[in-house]
Amino acid sequence: MPVVTVSARVTAAVKAEAAVVAEAHGMSMAALVRELLIRVAAGDKETLAWLDEARR
C-alpha cells in the first residue's frame, strides 16, 4: 500500500486558509497543527465543533 502524506490529502484552499490562521496568530504551520492535535486529543468541544462545521 503506498504511503500518502497528510499534506497530499489536504486541498490547496484548506492549506491557504490554515496559513492565514497561523500567520494571524503568529504561529508556524507546524505549531498550528500541533495545537489542533492537542485540542482534539483533549476532546476540546469548541475545537471539535469548529472542525465538524468546517467539514460540512
- Give the Å distances, CA to CA, from 10 to 32, 44, 45: 15, 22, 23
- Rounded distance between C-alpha atoms, residue 52 and residue 38, angstroms: 16
* pLDDT tens for each residue of 23-55: 999 999 999 989 989 999 999 999 889 888 877
Mean pLDDT over all residues of the chain?
87
Model-level pTM greater than 0.85? no
